[in-house]
Amino acid sequence: MAGASKTGGRNRALPFAWKAVKLIASVALTFLGLLFVTFLIGRVVPVDPVLSVVGDRASQAVYDRVYIELGLDKPLIQQFWIYLQKVFTGDFGSSFLTKRPILDDIIRVFPATLELATFGVILGTILGVPLGVLAAVKQGRLADQVVRVIGLIGYSAPIFWLGLLGLLIFYAKLGWVAGPGRIDISFEYDITPTTGLLLLDSAMQGKWAAFRNIFSHIILPASLLGYFSMAYISRMTRSFMLNELAQEYVIAARVKGVPEWRIIWVHALRNAAVPLVTVIALSYAGLLEGSVLTETVFAWPGLGQYLTNSLQNADMNAVLGGTLVIGVVFVGLNLLSDLLYTLLDPRVRRRG
């Protein structure tokens, strides 16, 4: 009996081990492909990296020396190998614009983007899920049409236009929110940076006046990102809920006299929440990588504005480093959503 139990345990463990190996291999190949794409971008863009370092007035001798130092005289495959070695040791090179290591720059600016995107996806989820449920329950009625139009505007309206309009109305005209930037300079030195998330740091340190000022700055750009996220989440929630409300278990629950609110908000939404986790994770990743225009309009000192400034100044090392970080974040969140999907859906675990 003991031998049979051990054999059964090994048989159950093998599929999980094989699945883990496939997952690790998939992530490794995706990351390698991401590195290869960023490397090729750095080689095909019409920007001379040597001129970015030495300037256009340098002598030919200086140009040739830097050309060799950057490894551009080597075969392309060897350049890619050198690039891989540097990336895996955390060396993304130095920024020609800030004269600092790019990894240090990204660590400095990424918390601002993380804070903005997190605020935005929370707003988008809080609003998008109930609206999607409402649209599904009221399919074809006025409420459904209103929710779909709101979502369509969120998809169609350029976010930079909404940002400028929001600044004009809520900042310039009404004065309800603070203007561009992340914090007023009068509060900037009141907070000791700990996490880089100013709302969290100010709350932890009890600096409530600074907290209110930071909140007043972030609420408008975060609301715009939240609106964009809400449009996507509400549409997908509606689709998932329509599918669940058409299932046999919903009909059976109604026949048994289960209250309608419990059928919708407990049974149907619980099943719809499984694929919805992936939607929210991908929406979050989209906000982290797609907040460039929002950060530019609101002068938000995050990764998006850093990439914009670097691109405008032909600082390709910084552009490639930031692009690589965004790709890693996207892959990581996608992987996290897949793991959560597996944990939440027992059918997936049984298939595994």
CATH code of the domain covering residue 164: 1.10.3720.10
DSSP 74-132: S-HHHHHHHHHHHHHTT---B-TTT-SBHHHHHHHHHHHHHHHHHHHHHHHHHHHHHHH
Q: Does 325 fall in a domain?
A: yes
Tally the residues of the chain.
Answer: 352
Q: Does 17 fall in a domain?
A: no
- Model pLDDT for residues 167-221, shown as the tens digit of each residue: 999 999 988 998 888 888 888 888 888 888 889 999 999 899 999 999 999 999 9
Q: Does 238 fall in a domain?
A: yes
The per-residue pLDDT for 53 is 67
Q: Does 142 fall in a domain?
A: yes
Considering the entire predicted model, what is its pTM? Answer: 0.81
- Model pLDDT for residues 285-305, shown as the tens digit of each residue: 888 876 778 888 898 888 888
Q: Does 72 fall in a domain?
A: no
- Model pLDDT for residues 155-165, shown as the tens digit of each residue: 788 888 888 89
Q: Provide φ and ψ at 270, rounded to 5°.
A: -65, -40
Q: Is the pLDDT of residue 310 over 90?
A: no
Q: Does 331 fall in a domain?
A: yes
When divided into structural domains, the chain yields a total of 1
| Arithmetic mean of pLDDT over the chain | 82
Q: How far apart are the C-alpha atoms of 217 and 207, rounded to whole Å? A: 16
Question: In which region does residue 257 sit, left (phi positive, over 0), alpha (psi from -120 to 50) or beta (all else)?
Answer: left
The per-residue pLDDT for 27 is 74
Q: Provide φ and ψ at 101, rounded to 5°.
A: -60, 140
Q: How far apart are the C-alpha atoms of 199 and 160, rounded to whole Å? A: 24
Residue type, 33: G
Residue range of the domain that includes 312 = 102-351
Q: How far apart are the C-alpha atoms of 269 and 240, rounded to whole Å? A: 9
Distances (CA, A) of 336 to 27, 272, 318: 12, 18, 27
The per-residue pLDDT for 304 is 85
